[in-house]
Amino acid sequence: MRKLVLSSAVAVMLVGGSGFVMAPTIQAAKKSATVPTKFRHKWFERLENDRNPEFTKMTKHSIVMGHGSYHYTISGSNLSVKKAKGGWYRIGYTGNANPYYKVTKRNIGGKKVTVLLEKASATSSQANVMVTGKRTMTYNESFVNLK
């Protein structure tokens, strides 16, 4: 009888122990990626006579993109920021083929201003130009040939 009691005690410890291991564990939420400071503005692709320009607003932990009444937000664990070659950054949804962004100076309306360049892939030969504030640009200033 003693063997049975001892075996039962071991069995209870094993079941109790495995129940403890199998209990759900609480995991901390994945931290959001951080957008570099130089990108944190509200950028517009504002062409002359365009009443509804496209925009990209980048904050420390989110991006809002769209135009007028249509826009969407990427934030939290959905946001991915990765550094690429040549000062470019891939910013967008986690796990997607995101566009590449770079901040640089360009001549817009006769003045040298800080702009945001956006290209579709690492091998793209052209990038869209976005500016801050109410500044407008011509169609020819709204893109740049990279090669």
Q: pLDDT, tens digit, for every residue of 11-68?
A: 444 444 444 444 444 444 456 689 999 999 999 999 988 888 999 999 999 999 998 8
- pLDDT of 101 over the 80 cut: yes
What pLDDT, in 10s, does the model give residues 56-89? 999 999 999 998 889 999 999 999 999 999 999 9
pLDDT value of residue 19: 45
pLDDT value at position 31? 60
Distance CA 36, CA 22 (A): 41
